Amino acid sequence: MRNENLESVSCGSFLPNRGDFKLDWLIITLVLLVAFGGVAYVMPSKFQRRVSQLRLEARKQGIFTSSRTIPDLDADAEDRVTSGGKVRQRENLCVVYDLTYPSSTSNPPTWHLVRFKKSQVPIPGWLIRDNNLEGVQLSDASYWATVAEYIADMPKYCRSVISHNSGVSWIGTESKDAVIEDRFLTELTSSLESLRDLNLSISAASEDHEDTE
């Protein structure tokens, strides 16, 4: 009888408790959740993957991408002052889509427009930054009306449009709905090409004028 009890105690001491099983599986589950959760966190979302494909497709079409900061002139007053009371200029990191001119282009119009709701010149809602304007007059209403049409056709969330010596640029953030619906690149390409062609026509007219002098 005594031996049977000893054997029972001895065997029972080696049998795992059901509570231990539950605890072990709980720990394993938590470890797996943490591991796979970390992987899911670093994996790009569907939108991020689509943006990467979009930028690659843009480069194939001759539109180059980069990034730069653009001042937010429409920022609220509290966002333009530091906690110490100093005035600061709030800036947003944006993506740049740049369409270049042919290498033979000379003296195209150059300007830098930044979105500013209170501005009315040269286009309502847009301000020329740092008085950067060459090759076209501020009073050329026909030119700026045409530019306004092209900007209106550009994808939303555009914060700046630049016409520089080498080409034209759209600067802003990609609209999620336009990217997912595959509208972004179509709208961007059409508006940038129209703006480029407008400036090329002015550049050609300027060259012809110089030749006749």
- The pLDDT tens digits for 115-131 are 999 999 999 999 999 88
Do the Cβ atoms of 207 and 106 come closer than 8 Å? yes
User: Which residues share a beta bridge with 128?
Assistant: 113
197 and 159: one domain?
yes
Interval 156-172: pLDDT, tens: 999 999 999 999 999 99
With contact defined as beta carbons under 8 Å apart, do 99 and 62 qualify? yes
Same domain, residue pair 157 and 200: yes
- State the residue range of the domain holding 207: 46-212
31 & 118 share domain: no
Q: Which of 14-23, 102-111, 165-174 has the lowest mean pLDDT?
A: 14-23
Task: Kindly report the average pLDDT of the chain as a whole number.
Answer: 84
Same domain, 11 and 101: no
Helical (H) or strand (E) element with 24: helix 18-42
